[in-house]
Amino acid sequence: DIKGFAFDLDGVITDTAKFHTQAWHALAEQVNVTWTPELQESLKGIDRMGSLEMILKAGDKQADYTHDEKVALASWKNNHYVELISGLTPDDILPGMADFIKELNEKGYKAIVASASKNAPFILDRLQLTDSFVGIVDPSTLTANKPDPEIYVRAAELLNLPPEQVIGLEDAASGIQAINGAGEVSLGIGNADILHDADIRFDTTADVTLANIAAKLD
Ligand code: B16
Ligand code: MG
């Protein structure tokens, strides 16, 4: 029986991807790396320094910067990003998700946030969702990032549930891999070509309800 839900943030609860994209695209231009749709997609769910390395690698520029210079580039991107997300309001919750989270709270399911984003507490606060979750996995305490299962293993521990009683919700292939590796039920939201490893899948967040999930789990 499912008793808990572990939520990815970006692409599941709210669309911060467009702001990440805007800020990373600006950074790519600064370091003279060509921005492509493939590069953009590959950054989904990847932590901040990992994303920077992928951008530099795409332009064969990983060796051109010292560690300190990379940290400065990542913090330049984050300052730009935080400026972009500071205007978020509850209206920016993705379609259906406010109702779904409310449904979980009312029916006694436990929910937690498993996001690679260090900005997750700020974003949940802006969306007025902090109190709807029992907690947020702190990504700075992790030794490995998505697609490593660690973040979803930690989510189940914090929910105090065995992994098979937890559904993980993700929009990125790296996240689905992490959920599957943790032994949880993976729920993908988005394109079937990208999310082919998800146990169950919905096209959009608006389709995610307890009834629709129960129908697919049968
Ligand atoms: P930050 P998620 C991820 O969030 C984003 O998908 C990814 O693009 C971003 O680089 C990462 O968070 C780190 O975010 O720079 O705010 O710490 O999908 O795991 O909720
Ligand atoms: Mg995501």
7, 14, 16: which to mutate for ligand 1, most atoms within 8 A of CB? 16
With tokens 């999930």, the residue in question is 213
**So what's the pLDDT on residue 44?**
86
Q: How many CB atoms lie within 10 A of CB 162?
A: 12
Q: What is the 86 CA–ligand 2 centroid distance (Å)? A: 19
Q: What is the 192 CA–ligand 1 centroid distance (Å)? A: 21
- With CA atoms as reference, report the closest residue to 192 among 173, 207, 208: 173
CA dihedral defined by 38, 39, 45, 50, rounded to 10 degrees? Answer: 150
Q: What is the 80 CA–ligand 1 centroid distance (Å)? A: 14
**So what's the pLDDT on residue 218?**
82
Q: What is the 8 CA–ligand 1 centroid distance (Å)? A: 9
For ligand 1, atom 15, the nearest C-alpha belongs to 48
Residues 90, 121: Cα–Cα separation, whole Å:
14
**So what's the pLDDT on residue 60?**
98
9, 18, 20, 49: which to mutate for ligand 1, most atoms within 8 A of CB? 20
Residue length of the chain: 218
Residues with CB under 6 A from ligand 1: 8-11, 20, 43-48, 51, 78, 115-119, 172
> Rg of the chain's alpha carbons, rounded to an integer?
17
CA dihedral defined by 173, 137, 6, 16, rounded to 10 degrees? Answer: -60
Active-site residue list: 8, 10
- With CA atoms as reference, report the closest residue to 91 among 14, 12, 10, 7: 14
Q: Which residues of the chain have pLDDT under 70?
A: none
Which listed ligand is nearest to 39 at the C-alpha?
Answer: 1
